[in-house]
Structure 1
Amino acid sequence: MKKSKALIISSILGIIYSIYLVIHFGGSVLGANSGSEAVGGAIATALVAPHMICVILAAIFNTIGAIFNKSGFALVGAILYCVGGVLFIMYIIFVIPMIILSFVGYGSVKKRLA
């Protein structure tokens, strides 16, 4: 059974972006030199946390959809990327390629199964 290349690429990008988010915002709290830096890092992490959660869940659903050729998982991943982009609009530019690839992958998986 052929796999959707767009969904696989979207999964890889999602995993890379999720790792970046966790390292970048987790490191801002752990690598603080002073108390005020730690507080600022904690506030920044709290503001980005909903975006992080949506993107990580989307990457998980996309990966499951790509591995098992399940269109429902691909659709949930694409929707979660959209929600994650809206939750932190400043970082939507990083999520747009994954949104497009996820919807294209969903369409190709759906077409193959029909």
Structure 2
Amino acid sequence: MKRSKLLLISGILSTAYLIYILNYFIGGIFSSDGIESISAGIASALVTPHMLLVGLGVLFNWIGWAMKLRWAALVSGILYAVSILLMFIYAPFVIVQMILCFIAFSRMKKVLSTQN
């Protein structure tokens, strides 16, 4: 079975987004101004559940792509969906990856059924 191109695209986009969001929020904590550092810490605490679920989604996304596991694509899509619910303002950055994972999940079923 060939590897899913949709999972590859989703993995690349998700990894880039995860690097960006981690860099953005961690970089804000280490600012020189005290008030700015406190507000960045509070904002980071609010976004942490979203970042954790996106991180887990990226992990399962790459596992699903590398090992050709259908269930990992589904888990990744579900984790992206829950991360959208936790921080809805960041939905545009994750919704494409979620859709790609669900489409890859359904296409992997068709490929597996034709191989058997």
The two structures have a TM-score, normalised by structure 2, of: 0.94
Provide the C-alpha distance between the structure 1 equivalents of 2:52 and 2:67, rounded to a whole number of angstroms: 23
Shift of 1:113: 1.7
Aligned to 2:4: 4
Q: Deviations over 1:22-65 (max 9, x none)?
A: 100010101x1211111001001000000000001001101000
Amino-acid identity (%): 42
Aligned to 2:66: 67
Aligned to 2:87: 88
Provide the C-alpha distance between the structure 1 equivalents of 2:110 and 2:29, rounded to a whole number of angstroms: 45
The two structures have a TM-score, normalised by structure 1, of: 0.96
Shift of 1:4: 0.9
Count of residues paired in the alignment: 113
Provide the C-alpha distance between the structure 2 equivalents of 1:3 and 1:106, rounded to a whole number of angstroms: 12
Shift of 1:110: 2.0
Q: Deviations over 1:56-98 (max 9, x none)?
A: 1001101000111101111000000000011000000111100
Amino acid in structure 1 at the alignment position of 2:60: F
Task: Report the 3-state secondary structure (helix = DSSP H, G, I; strand = E; otherwise coil) of the residue aligned with 2:94.
Answer: helix
Structure 1 stretches of 4+ moved >6 Å: none
- The within-5 A match list for 1:1-114 is 1-30=1-30, 32-114=31-113
Provide the C-alpha distance between the structure 1 equivalents of 2:106 and 2:20, rounded to a whole number of angstroms: 28
Amino acid in structure 2 at the alignment position of 1:45: S
Provide the C-alpha distance between the structure 2 equivalents of 1:16 and 1:106, rounded to a whole number of angstroms: 22
CA RMSD of aligned residues (A): 0.8
Structure 1 unpaired stretches of 5+? none
